[in-house]
Every structure is written in C-alpha cells, then in structure tokens.
Amino acid sequence: MVTPLAHMERAARVKVMIFDVDGVLTDGSLTYGPDGEVTKTFYVLDGLGIQLLNKTGVQTAIISARTSPIVIKRAADLGITHVFQGQHDKRLAFADLLAKTGVTAEECGYIGDDVIDLPLFTRVGFAVTVPSGHPEVQHRAHYVTKNPGGRGAVREVCDMVMRARGTYEQALAPYFG
C-alpha cells in the first residue's frame, strides 16, 4: 500500500491528467434510447474540477475504449483538448499523447477502473482508480478515491493534484472575491 505522502508526491509531478470515461467520468451505466442511442450522465463537480485543473496549467486528456459523440461534446465543454476514443489498446493513444504534449510518462496521471486500463497503470507516474474498480486495478493503483466514479472521484483527484502542486488556493481564489 502506498503511503499518503507517496501519492501526494506522485500527484505533485502530474503535468497531464488522463481520464477514462465509463466508470470514471460516469458511474459506468449505459442508457440506451429507443433508437439505440447511448446516453451518459456526467457529474457537474467533476467538470469544474477539470476546468480548474486546466487553469492551473495541468493538461487534461481522455483515453477511452468506447466511442461516443457525447464524450466529444463533454470534452469540448470542459476544455479537454486531447481526446482518444475507440482505444482498445490504450498504449497507442498514450504514446501519441506523450508525443503531442512533450511530457514523460512519469509526469502523467491516469484514472481508470478496469483491466483494460492496466497497461497505462504500469506506465504513468500516478495511477488512480475508483472504489468500484476491478480488484486487479485497485491492487496496482497508487491511490483509490473515496468518491465513486461519476460522483466526485474525478473532482477528488483534480483537487488532490492542485493541492500537491501548490495551485489549489490559486484555482479557488476567484470564487472568494
């Protein structure tokens, strides 16, 4: 088990925070409409956390195995500029992201919840999962969030990264006007 100080040290090095979608940005539910369209529900507090993280200089990205136009819309709303969908081998998208951003793997954080995420868990400097994450993923995570996916886990991680980097107060300052 990683000590709290160790996960904060890892969070302090994050320059790019990467998010899985289903089970992380959402609660993992897929709702099918009458015409077969899939809808997803996102949590507003998570969204503001991502926007604040972006404002403090941490880049954000999505790497997801599924493909959905809803994800493109949500990413655009939040200012997530790096979006990779349909990535069943997430290592390929990760390599592309590293090339585009110029950061090292150790300077990346990733939050995922299932075994498809394990290849990135072994590469990033800060690997995070949610309480409902698969046991193999939880075993390899540097940190398991207290909040569930789609209900505050992402905000918890964004706040943690900002606190660890010393930018949390700066990010919240405009709201204390």
pLDDT tens figures, 139-150: 999 999 999 999
Q: Give the residue-averaged pLDDT of 143-172.
A: 97
Residue 3 pLDDT grade (very low, low, confident, very high; cuts 50, 70, 90)? low
DSSP string, 128-174: EE-TTS-HHHHHH-SEE-SSPTTTTHHHHHHHHHHHHHT-HHHHHGG
Q: Give the residue-averaged pLDDT of 147-172.
A: 97
Q: Give the residue-averaged pLDDT of 9-18.
A: 97
Q: What is the DSSP secondary structure assignment for residue 148, as one 8-state letter? A: P
Q: What are phi and psi of 50, to 5 degrees?
A: -65, -45
Model pLDDT, residue 132:
97
Beta carbons of 126 and 106 less than 8 angstroms apart: no
What are the structure tokens assigned to 43, written together?
A: 């949590």
